Each structure stands twice: as structure tokens, then as C-alpha cells.
Structure 1
Amino acid sequence: MVTYAQLWQADPGAWRAAGAAWSRLADAVGQRAAALGAVAGRVTDGWQGAAGSAAGDHVRRLRAPLDAARSAFVETDQVLSGLAAALVRARGMLAAAVSSAGPAHVEIDRSGRTAPDVTVTGIDRAAALRAADRVGAGIADALHAASAADRAAATHLDRLAAAAAAGWPTTPPRFRPPLGARPDAVRRWWAGLSETERRWLVVHQPAYVGRLHGVPVAARDQANRSLLAGQRAALVRERAEAVRTAMPRHGAVSASHRLVGLMSGIDAVDARLRAETGERAYLLSLVAEDDGRVVLAVGDPDRADNVLTYVPGMTASLGAVRDDLSRVEAVAARAAALDPSQRTAAVLWLDYDAPSFLDEAMFTAKAQAAGPALHDFAEGLRATHEGPPAQQTVLGHSYGSLTVGTTVRTTGLAADDLVFVGSPGVGVDHATDLGRPATDIWSSTAPNDPIAYLAPGWREPLTRFRDPFDTGPYEHLWFGRNPTDPSFGAQVFDGDAHGHSGYWRTDNDALTDIARIALGPEHQSEVS
């Protein structure tokens, strides 16, 4: 059992730094593994015949233990970073309990025992005794949380050490469900595999594991991280080839620009994955094709009490991912500040082809195409979550709100609450048309967000906006009734005057309200 003094003295940052050190080691091992793969290719290319093939196969076999070690090191980072996050929460719980002691006339000794202040007498003393019990219970909850996290981390590390001592996995599972299989069926299949079989899949088929809904977040993160360097290297080679073979042509310049954008996006994702402070990030998907797609979580959704999934809108792409990453970071940080006792994960879900230009954003096709993928992702989060179900919130911004609304109507969406911010309409005229209580639907649009003055229908030019000080926002927008209009029926919260992209600014009350919604019913009553 972690003691009162030990928890006060605990340094979560040291555990986070230890995890980051294992992550750096994983990167170094990954580089060595990639170098061996390149050597194997050169051996095969330059040495023909049976002997050359055998030599190439031998070099490739040397890579397998390095790939397995890299995965184990990433897993170690996950465990230690998870312990750090748990200690941050436990210390927050402890601080909250201790801070309530003074006003309640409760004293706390060095071991964490509580008692009424000696100066309190009579009826006030009876109240102080009850307060002492409450403060003591809060301290006990914090110590239990820290102790449970400590035991879980130790058990996981022991299991990982035993797996390494037993040798690297060499046996594949006999059956693998196809991509697109039902997440709950995938979860049952994964749970039925041996630990050795799971590790084999992560090491030898990372592209498959990383995209399979129903596989736990930790395994998907291990798999996708192992692919990142290779994806960037492939883009570098593709750009060099495009420049070499077709530089005079405009198409080559355009292709080169796109590839540079994708590389920039991968660099931004990689930088967040390497961050050594704050909540650890988990990479659930990255596709470096077309405009690029990425799914990244701040905090582990499988172990969180609350999960907010953010769906961005027009112009969202891998190359422009930095702003979207900062938004999920802001929500996770604000939720942690509001309630440190709860674990809140925030997910950037950019696994669809968002509109790049206005002529694409005028239509619902992009939103409709995204529906099945968003549905499967949300179902996957439900299937892999550990313990009691998490509070699941899905937030759509701008065109992303249409994507969320369309998904709810066409395929269904596993979410307890829906949030629409800066919305051009969500495809329906009333909150109840989304098939759920209006109390579960929230909306906000800043008074100076031009999206609220976007003329509806084809008879009004897309570029026509009204003076915000004229008669207020339109009741009907491009894709249906304005979800902040009283007649829509949603719960409306304030969006300060920071324009179309300012909802996540730290000085915007909308950010606090979004975090309160994500934290669930206990905090939703405080939404302004």
C-alpha cells in the first residue's frame, strides 16, 4: 500500500521521463532494424542464386529480434507513462482532500489520519467529525488509486520480462479476422489469443494490427509507431523520384508540395509521440496517402473514465495536423484541471477525406463517406475499453459537425453526448431527429463566427454573409437548421467572440464547457 508520505513525495515526472527513455531506446533499435532490412535488400539485389537468397533470408531473420525488442520497449514506455499519469491523478485527489481540511476545521497528521481541530467544541465538533471522515475518505481514495496503479504497473512489467526471457515470438495465430470485421468480434478474437500470438502480430503484421478496430489501443499504438519512420522514408523517396523525373511539369511541383505537407504532418505527429511531458500520446492510425489521415489520442482511451473524440472539418489534413493536435491537447488539459480524479482522453479522429475547398464543402458526400469509418472507430473504443464503460463524447467542428450528424443518422454512433461547434448544420432540423434525447446534444457558435451567417440553399451565393450586428445568425444554414437556434432543441453553451477557430483558446469559456461536457453528468450542470 502506498503511504500518505510516499504519495506526497512521488515524482510522476520521473516515471514519465523513464518511459520516454525506453521510447528513445525503441527508436534507436528501430533504426538498427531498418538498417538490417536495407542490408538484406542489397544482399539479394547484388547476389544472385540460391546462396544470395539464403544470405538475404539470414540477414532478414536477424531483424526479427530487434523488431520484437523495439515493441517491448514501446510497451515499457506505455506502462511507465501510464503509472506517471495515474500518480498525477492520485496526487490531485490527495491535494483536493487536503485543501478541504482547513475550511472544515480538520487536522491531518503525518500519516494521513484526520481529526477535528482541537479548538472545535460542541455542535461544531460533531460537524467537524463528519468532515474529518469525508477528508479521510478522500485521502484513502487517493492512496488506493496510487496503490492500484503501482501494483498494475509492477505486474505488467513482470509479465513483459517473463515474455522476453521466454524468447521472441515465432508462431503466428492460425486465424486472423479481416479488416472491417465487427469490433466486438475482433475483441473476442484478440482476447482468445495467447500473449505470444499477440506479440507476433504486432511485430510481424503491424499494418494489420494498427488498423483493426477491436484491438486494444496499446497494441495498435505499438504497431503504428513501428511504421512511422518507414512511412516518412517512403515519402522522401517518392518526392525525390517525382522531382527527378518530372520537375519541369506543374504536376510534379504540385505532387512535391503535397508530399512535403505529408512529411511535415508526420513530423508533427512524431514530435507529439516523442513528448516527454504531459499525457502520453497513442497512435491509432496514420495513412500517408492523398491528403493523409491520422487518429491520435492524448491519454489512453481504453483506461479513461471519459473519452472525447474530435472530428475536424474543412481543410483538415495530415499536413495541417498541428492545430488539430493542439485542440485535443487543450481539451485533455482543461478536463484534467477541472477534475483531476477522473481520467480523460481526447482523440483526434481525422480518418476521412475532409473537404479541401468550398466547392467540396458545399455537398454532403464527404460526410456520408466518412460514416462507416467513424461508426467502426467508436464501436472499437467501446469494445476495447477496460472496466466500466467510459463516458463517450463526440465533437464535430465546422464540416466535421455534419460528418458526426450524418454518421448518427445513417450508421449510428456509440456516443453518450454529441457536441457541435461552429456548425453549418448537421443534416437535420431538430435535435431529436438524431434519434437521441435533446439533453445529450450540445451546440455552440461564436457571435462572430461567419459560419452562422452562411446563406442556406442554392438561391443564395455561398459567399454572402450578413452583418453580425444586423438581425443575428440565420435560423437555417447550409445543411439544415442552425443547431444553436432555440427551435433546434439542443443545449446551447456560449462561444466567446474568437471566430470560427477560437473555441479551443485557453481564454475561451467554450473550452471549459467542452471539457465539462466530456467529464459527464456530474459536471454538465455547470455548463454555461
Structure 2
Amino acid sequence: MTGPTPPRAATAGYVQLSTVAPAGWRATGTAWAGLAGLATRRADELADGTAALRAGWSGRAAGSAGTRLAGLRTELTALVPVAVEVDQVLAGFAGRLTAARARLSAAVELAAATGVLIDRSGRVRPDPARVPPERAAGTVAPVATGIRDALDLAGAADREAAGRLGQLSRDAAVGWVTRPPPGRPAPHTDPARVRLWWAGLTTAQRRWLVLHEPELVGRLDGVPAADRDQANRSLLGVRREELRARWERLLARVPRGPMEVAGLRAVDAARAGLDALAARLDSAESPRSYLLGLDVDGEGRAVVALGDPDRATGVVTYVPGMTAGLDDATGELGRAARVLARCADLAPGQETSAVLWLDYDAPDFLHEAARDGQARSAGDALHRFQEGLRATHDGPPARQTVLGHSYGSLVVGTAARDHGLAADALVFVGSPGVGVGHASELRVPPEQVWASTAPDDVIRLTRPPDELARQAVLGASPVGTIVDWLAGPRDERWFGRDPAEPGFGGRTFPSGRYGHTGYWDPANPALDGMARVVLGR
């Protein structure tokens, strides 16, 4: 098998960049990813054929045929992570071209506004009819810089993609995979140590681990996003089979009581959610999604990045709240996508990534959400994930923001308080409290702690449990109003002071009246607020 044809490795030209279609490269990558599914299906067919062969044929010839079929199946299986890798390379190339084109468009708009002329080679000069000689140098320089930055980014992307695809072609001649030496990091190993271990392996050894030990690679914080994505995508069929088996076990129980019926509904919802997530993973939609974690136990968990977080200059990790599960992972991912889209509107030339981090057991009922046990249990995992993002990032550190909604804000606050988070900013929306009384207790500068609570958000009705008990006793008493007035500030929530109130010590941004789940509405100023924090604005 020969590798894909790489983009031409040359310095990008002005006309080239202004006419290139990044979507074409993205679609080509998606087509390569489709080969992974085809190879998997053919490998499964070979396995079924080999089993049938053994049942009806024996002897030396049968053994030789079985060995040959097993070898073909191994070769097909080895192509799966490679096809996904091509998709990753081309998706990254398309994303960087998109950013480069946005920078070029900004320079062209600036030229039109300031009286600068651009020729087909990208050379600039002042329009003598609009720019006096004494202002020429200062007027031309910003446009020239903008064009140069755009062309430099496109050229670097072109050379990198050509190099990586060329390496894949060379790997095809010498073998895709090589067994690595013994010794694997334990699941909870420090991400920095995991990163050192992974960096010490050859490319062929890493592919062997992705192929043969995807369960390990897919969940290890400190393994780069691209490799985790390859491993977890290869497990999608396994996860489907786990849900199918659970469905059949529940279906076989006779008689079926309310628990079994509820279980069947939950499994059915999880299967639909997994199918929807798989469809997003397979789509040519930009930005490309990276599957960084997947678990179908219980209500299911998923960690999905939009855009490669290891290459982005800004990364936001979104932690959803109550009732979040695999059944609506794509809906929660849509919220992360809207923040990312607003970032692109505000800074079209900047590469940003958004991660849905649904790797904890979110409360399903109000009585569960009134306790902090599930948030405390999630703290160490969120800490490790953020440390992993720091460890695997290419180039200068990205600006990392962690965004929590509703109970998810308690998860973020508790993790920051108890473990510390590799984050440059924390954002809380619709929060019932974040487990601390002041922003200074979250281990990030208070000026980088942001919050917003809508005027009509029902979360404002949450009050500390001891106060609710007192109100229940005194509600009918004439002195009840006086006691309530003397009870202290009204910004106390279930889990401490409201982070959107001035007394918390952080900073705030506005929200319109869109209720508890409307912070991502396109018309809500809160969406702008979240995006600006992610961008560091």
C-alpha cells in the first residue's frame, strides 16, 4: 500500500492562499477515515470466514490457509489507526489553512480601509490618491505584516502536512507497527511522566500500542490527543457490543419489574447517544472531533475535543451539570461548539479548541445535586486531565480555561480547591456555589475567576440547607420575616457564596434572561462573555 499524496511542500503564495478551499482537504481526510471502517469490516469478515473454514476443513492445507487469512486480517487491522492518522493530518492542515485565510482576509480588509494596494504577488504599496507620502510607511506596514503572517502560517502548515504524510508513505515500506518494550504506566500515573514514556517510543511502537492496547492508550492522560483519538475510535464497536449485551441481559429477565424497564430505557438512550456521537465523529464537519475518552458503564461518559487541543492557542474544557450522560453527549458537545464558534467570530485567525469533559457521574435527581459527593469524586480526574493537556501541548503553552455549568461548576471549583487545576481562567455559569467562599481559594488569580448568573435562572432559589430548614420552621411565624432579614447575605447558595456576586471576589460578565440552560443562546451576551474569557480578552 502506498501512502496518500501530500500537499506540495512549498512556500504558500498570495494567490494560492486566497483561492485555496480548506473544505476540500477536510473532505479528503474524512474519506480516508472511512477506509478505517471499511478495513475493520473486511477484517471481521475474514475472522468469520476463518472460523467457518476451521469447522469444515482440516489438515496441512487448511492450516496454511488459516495462517494466511490471519495474516491478511492483521494487515487490515493495522491500517485502521493509519487511516485515522491521515484524517487527523488533513483535518489539521485544513484548520490551519482556514486560520491563515482568515488572517489574509483581515489584512485585505485593512488594506481596503487604509488605502493600500496589493498586487497578485502579495506585494503592497500605498495608493497615492489616498495616502500622503509622509504616512505611507506607517500605513503599509500593518498590511504587509498581516499578509506575511498569513502566508507564513499557510507555508508552515503545508510543510508539516507534507512531512507527516511523506513519513506515512515511508512507513508503508518498512512496516506500520513494532512491538514496544515492556513496562506500561498505571492508569493514574502523573501525566508528565506518561508524556515522557510516550515520547520515548518510536512511531511504530506507538501504533502497536494503539492497535493492541487501545484500552490503555485511550484513557491515559499525558498521551497526545491524536493517539488517544485513534485508540478510542477503534473501541467504538466494542462499546456498542457492551450496550447490546446489557440490553439482552435486561430483556431476558422475566418477569420484568420497574427497575428492569427503567434499565432498558436507559440502555436504549445510551445506544442512541453513542450512535449520535459516532455520527459526529464520522462527519466532515469542522472542526474535526477527537475522542479522548468513552465509557458506557452506568449512564456513560465521554470526553470529546473539537479541534486538536495539542495544537490550539486556546483550549476551553466544558464540564456539564446535572443529568449529563452519554444519551445527550452530542447536545452538550453542541454547547462547547457554540463557544468555539463565537471564538472564531471574535478571533478568526486564532486556532482554538473546545473539550466536552463528561468523565464523572453527574447527579440525576435534585436530592443528589444538593450534595457535593459526586463533585469531590470527580476532582482528581479533572485535575489529571488538565495536567495532561499541559503536558501534551505542542509549542508555547495554550491559554487553558475550564468552564463549569450548574453542578459542573461545583465539580470545577472543588477540583481547583482540592487538587489545583492547570488553568489560566475559570468560568462558572448558573452556579449553585463552587465549594469555596471566596475566589482566592481556587488557586488561580481572582481576576481570572469569572461568573455569570441569569436574572431568571432558577439556581438563584438554591439556599444553604440549614437556612431552608429554618425557613420551614419559621415560615408561618410572625417573626419569620425578621429572622430571615437577620440571617445574613442573600448570595449564599447550596455550596457557598454565589460566584457571580461581588462579595465572591471574582469578575463577572452579563447574561440575558434565558433561564438556567440559555447561556449558550446565540443572542445571549453570556456567550460573548465566555468566548472572550477563552481568548484572554
**Separation in 2 of the partners of 1:436 and 1:274?**
37
- Alignment partner of 1:508 is 2:524: yes
- Alignment partner of 1:16 is 2:32: no
**Separation in 2 of the partners of 1:170 and 1:462?**
67
> What's the CA shift for 1:177?
1.3
- Alignment partner of 1:312 is 2:328: no
Q: 1:350-365 counterparts in 2 under 5 A?
A: 350-365=358-373
For residue 72 of structure 1, the aligned residue among 70, 82, 85 is 82
Are the aligned partners of 1:106 and 1:116 in contact in 2 as well (CA < 8 Å)? yes
Q: Which residue of 1 aligns with 2:491?
A: 475
Are the aligned partners of 2:511 and 2:524 in contact in 1 as well (CA < 8 Å)? yes
Q: Which residue of 2 aligns with 1:343?
A: 351
**Separation in 1 of the partners of 2:463 and 2:292?**
38
Q: Which residue of 1 aligns with 2:287?
A: 279
Are the aligned partners of 1:87 and 1:146 in contact in 2 as well (CA < 8 Å)? yes
> What's the CA shift for 1:403?
0.5
CA 1:247–1:134 in structure 2 vs 1: closer, same or farther (change >3 Å)? Answer: farther
Q: Which residue of 1 aligns with 2:218?
A: 210
Q: Which residue of 1 aligns with 2:393?
A: 385
Larger mean Cα displacement after TM superposition, 242-251 or 356-365: 242-251
* Partner SS, residue 140 of structure 1: helix
Are the aligned partners of 1:242 and 1:252 in contact in 2 as well (CA < 8 Å)? yes
**Separation in 1 of the partners of 2:347 and 2:186?**
40
Q: Which residue of 1 aligns with 2:126?
A: 116
Q: Which residue of 1 aligns with 2:4?
A: none
Q: Which residue of 2 aligns with 1:165?
A: 173
For residue 487 of structure 1, the aligned residue among 494, 503, 506 is 503
CA 1:288–1:164 in structure 2 vs 1: closer, same or farther (change >3 Å)? Answer: same
- Alignment partner of 1:301 is 2:317: no
**Separation in 2 of the partners of 1:159 and 1:409?**
45
* Partner SS, residue 308 of structure 1: strand
Q: Which residue of 2 aligns with 1:526?
A: none
TM-score normalised per structure 1: 0.92
* Partner SS, residue 119 of structure 1: coil
CA 1:10–1:46 in structure 2 vs 1: closer, same or farther (change >3 Å)? Answer: same
Q: Which residue identity does 1:182 align to in structure 2?
A: D
Q: Which residue of 2 aligns with 1:154?
A: 162
Are the aligned partners of 2:195 and 2:392 in contact in 1 as well (CA < 8 Å)? yes
> What's the CA shift for 1:47?
9.2
Please provide the CA RMSD for this pair: 2.4
For residue 342 of structure 2, the aligned residue among 330, 334, 337 is 334
**Separation in 2 of the partners of 1:227 and 1:248?**
31
For residue 399 of structure 1, the aligned residue among 407, 411, 435 is 407
> What's the CA shift for 1:50?
12
For residue 411 of structure 1, the aligned residue among 419, 424, 429 is 419
> What's the CA shift for 1:291?
0.6
TM-score normalised per structure 2: 0.91
Q: Which residue of 1 aligns with 2:150?
A: 142
Are the aligned partners of 2:423 and 2:444 in contact in 1 as well (CA < 8 Å)? no
Q: Which residue identity does 1:65 align to in structure 2?
A: E
- Alignment partner of 1:219 is 2:227: yes
CA 1:135–1:462 in structure 2 vs 1: closer, same or farther (change >3 Å)? Answer: farther
CA 1:148–1:319 in structure 2 vs 1: closer, same or farther (change >3 Å)? Answer: same
For residue 466 of structure 2, the aligned residue among 435, 438, 458 is 458
* Partner SS, residue 183 of structure 2: coil
**Separation in 1 of the partners of 2:257 and 2:56?**
34
**Separation in 1 of the partners of 2:511 and 2:306?**
24
Larger mean Cα displacement after TM superposition, 37-46 or 434-443: 37-46
CA 1:95–1:270 in structure 2 vs 1: closer, same or farther (change >3 Å)? Answer: same
- Alignment partner of 1:187 is 2:187: no
> What's the CA shift for 1:512?
1.2
**Separation in 1 of the partners of 2:37 and 2:443?**
47
Are the aligned partners of 1:246 and 1:252 in contact in 2 as well (CA < 8 Å)? no
**Separation in 1 of the partners of 2:421 and 2:61?**
56
> What's the CA shift for 1:237?
3.1
- Alignment partner of 1:371 is 2:375: no
**Separation in 1 of the partners of 2:404 and 2:355?**
12
Q: Which residue identity does 1:494 align to in structure 2?
A: P
CA 1:37–1:396 in structure 2 vs 1: closer, same or farther (change >3 Å)? Answer: farther
**Separation in 1 of the partners of 2:263 and 2:55?**
29
Are the aligned partners of 2:500 and 2:508 in contact in 1 as well (CA < 8 Å)? yes
Identity of aligned residues (%): 48
**Separation in 1 of the partners of 2:279 and 2:315?**
23
**Separation in 2 of the partners of 1:185 and 1:95?**
42
CA 1:451–1:46 in structure 2 vs 1: closer, same or farther (change >3 Å)? Answer: farther
CA 1:47–1:349 in structure 2 vs 1: closer, same or farther (change >3 Å)? Answer: farther
CA 1:511–1:38 in structure 2 vs 1: closer, same or farther (change >3 Å)? Answer: farther
**Separation in 1 of the partners of 2:298 and 2:60?**
40
> What's the CA shift for 1:165?
1.7
**Separation in 2 of the partners of 1:57 and 1:378?**
45
**Separation in 1 of the partners of 2:23 and 2:301?**
31
Are the aligned partners of 1:104 and 1:128 in contact in 2 as well (CA < 8 Å)? no
> What's the CA shift for 1:436?
2.6
**Separation in 2 of the partners of 1:212 and 1:519?**
28
- Alignment partner of 1:497 is 2:513: yes
CA 1:40–1:89 in structure 2 vs 1: closer, same or farther (change >3 Å)? Answer: same
Matched residue pairs, number? 512
